[in-house]
Structure 1
Amino acid sequence: MSGRRITLAIASDLQNVPLIGQTIQRLCSLVPLSDIESHQIALCVVEAVNNAIVHAYSREAEHEVEVVFAQYSDRLIVQICDAGRTMDATRLAPQTASPLDFDPGCLERIPERGLGLAIIRNTMDEVTYTTSCGKNTLTLTRLLKPCQSTQERLKE
């Protein structure tokens, strides 16, 4: 499967995360995705990079977070890589109750944390996590619809 790919790297400082978000959104705009889909994917990547910085590196700023963006004819794959603490892989397992299922009218029940992985799982078609030789990789996959004309996409 032939594709196009670019690798981005930032220091593990939360101030650098908007650079990744803006770049991923721009890269997604080059793929047959709507503006909303591009924004959703960029949000997922930002959430994943934030998690790497906060949880894998405990907010220590002297580490590196790598983001690999790969576009294929039928899918978009984004990998977020770090060399920090590993994530409990069961956090990606399907849950009976999603933290996204809440009553927005009841302010005291709106979750303040822990929504990132739920957003990622609900937005992406496939989410996997691996650790090998000290490198943690969260892989986000979004399947692409067959190429449509601009007019057809605007109707959706």
Structure 2
Amino acid sequence: MTAEQGQTVRLEIDSELANTTLIAMAVRGLCAMTTLSPVEVNRVELCVVEIVNNAIEHAYGYEKGHKVEVGVGLQKSTLHLTISDWGKPMDEGKLGAGDSPVDPVDPDDPAAWLCSGRGLTIVQSLMDKVEYQIDGDKNSFIMSKQIRS
């Protein structure tokens, strides 16, 4: 990214659930550089943790020794997050139709976030845009959140 496009930070962890905390703290710190409210920062952090955990669980089957990469891009009006792995790709169509969740989750009800198997639905409810891309052996989950001026 050029200076006009914003700034990007790339973080890399080993595929171990304990390392998810490192990513969460780093993303939280980067979000503090924006005008996102504390509630929005919590939501972004939750989404990143969910997708990183999914990569470790589903792409790598909890097997340690694999790379999970998180890219955080800050632009004037948008926060972009890309979580990549090189494991088993997610099933096509898992995100549902388009960018809207199949089974919406109330973003103001944290109790609804605790339901197992609803991670992607929660992410879709909390982020402005969500997509999944496969490029060769690299799987990338891409999310964005608008930042108010």
C-alpha distance in 2 between matches for 1:28 and 1:96? 24
> Could you tell me which of 123, 128, 136 is aligned with 1:125?
128
**Alignment gaps of 5+ in structure 1:** 105-109, 148-156
Structure 2 partner of 1:152: none
State how 1:38-49 maps to structure 2 within 5 Å: 38-49=41-52
Q: How many Å apart are 1:111 and its aligned residue?
A: 7.5
Greater share of helix residues, 1 or 2? 1
Structure 1 ranges of 4+ moved more than 6 A: none
- TM-score, with length taken from structure 2: 0.86
AA matched with 2:75: Y
Q: How many Å apart are 1:2 and its aligned residue?
A: 1.1
C-alpha distance in 2 between matches for 1:69 and 1:60? 25
Q: How many Å apart are 1:100 and its aligned residue?
A: 3.6
Aligned partner of residue 94 in structure 2, secondary structure:
helix
Contact 2:105 2:125 in 1 (8 A): no
The answer to whether residue 83 in structure 2 is matched with residue 73 in structure 1 is no
- TM-score, with length taken from structure 1: 0.82
Structure 2 partner of 1:5: 8
C-alpha distance in 2 between matches for 1:89 and 1:138? 12
Q: How many Å apart are 1:97 and its aligned residue?
A: 5.2
Q: 1:74 to 1:96 in 2, by over 3 A?
A: closer
Aligned partner of residue 116 in structure 2, secondary structure:
coil
C-alpha distance in 1 between matches for 2:139 and 2:11? 16
Superimposed CA distance per residue, residues 82-134 of structure 1 (whole angstroms, 9 cap, x where no aligned partner): 00000013111147851747xx9xxxxx9741121111000001000000120
State how 1:1-156 maps to structure 2 within 5 Å: 2-94=5-97, 98=103, 100=105, 112-145=115-148, 147=149
Q: How many Å apart are 1:5 and its aligned residue?
A: 0.7
**Alignment gaps of 5+ in structure 2:** none
C-alpha distance in 2 between matches for 1:96 and 1:3? 29
- What's the C-alpha RMSD, in Å, of the aligned pairs? 2.0
Aligned pair count?
Answer: 139
Larger Rg: 1
